Amino acid sequence: MSLTKLKIGSYQNATCEGQPKETFIALINPATISRKLSVSLSNQSQPPGRAGSESKYKNTEPETISFDLYLDGTGAIDDDGQTPKKTVTDLVNKFLKVALAFDGKIHEPPYTKINWGTLEFKGRITTCDISYTLFDSDGDPLRAKLGLSFNGASTPDEQNKRENRNSPDLSHTLVVNEGDTLPLMCNKIYKDSTLYVQVARINGLVNFRNLIPGTTLLFPPIK
């Protein structure tokens, strides 16, 4: 049974669907992959007489992963019979072409999809630290280490599904736009337009039939 190698493909959008434009196959699989997941919080001051501050959820940050890839041009590592043999410089340039090269069609570096075993990570590279660790007598590199970090990427629909931002169990704020009515805004958040009376009372609205554009309204969970 052949060893499954980590693959990195380049794409022109965040969905990373279809065939990759370019593919880089790791010569040596990473020994460790680190994942980082985090959320952003805002600290809100408590009313007078209460100590400390209250942390409120703002958003979920994109997941990041990091790992090292080792490149070898000494011939000691099986390269699956690639002909001609790739030098370390060739391998570095290939990786940079796949993960970092500016794409003239989208006018920015590509999106990437990383596959290895059960891992499938869509994102963009944020860091590539290249360390050359061995050289031949002419000064050409024979080994290199790539220290890599990637930020996760997702489409707005994927992010909304993941965070379920339209859930009525979360507090929401909406800015009133021209033509908005309180029943319609309630229907958007709660799927129930009849809750406008409670929302009007919560926001201290005297005349909820004439909302002022630009006003920010709070829509808390209503049981």
Residue 152 pLDDT exceeds 70: yes
pLDDT in tens, 75-104: 888 766 564 678 999 999 999 999 999 999
Residue for token pair 């596959």: 115
Closest CA to 143 of 208, 74, 95: 74
For the chain, what is the mean pLDDT?
86
Closest CA to 25 of 6, 4, 3: 6
Query: Are domains 7-160 and 166-219 of this chain identical in fold?
Result: no
Q: Which fold has domain 7-160?
A: Elongation Factor Tu (Ef-tu); domain 3 (2.40.30)
The confidence score (pLDDT) of residue 40 equals 81
CA 177 to chain centre: 30
Burial of residue 34, with CB atoms counted within 10 A of its CB: 0-12 exposed, 13-18 middle, 19 or more buried:
exposed
Residue percentage of the chain with pLDDT more than 70: 82
The confidence score (pLDDT) of residue 52 equals 57
Whether the ω angle into residue 84 lies within 30 degrees of 0, i.e. cis, is: yes
**CATH second-level architecture of 166-219?**
Roll (3.10)
What is the residue extent of each domain of the chain? 7-160, 166-219
Q: What is the pTM of this model?
A: 0.67
Q: What is the rounded distance in angstroms from the CA atom of residue 94 to the CA atom of residue 22?
A: 9
Q: pLDDT confidence of 163, banded at 50, 70, 90?
A: low
pLDDT in tens, 42-60: 775 555 555 556 677 677 7
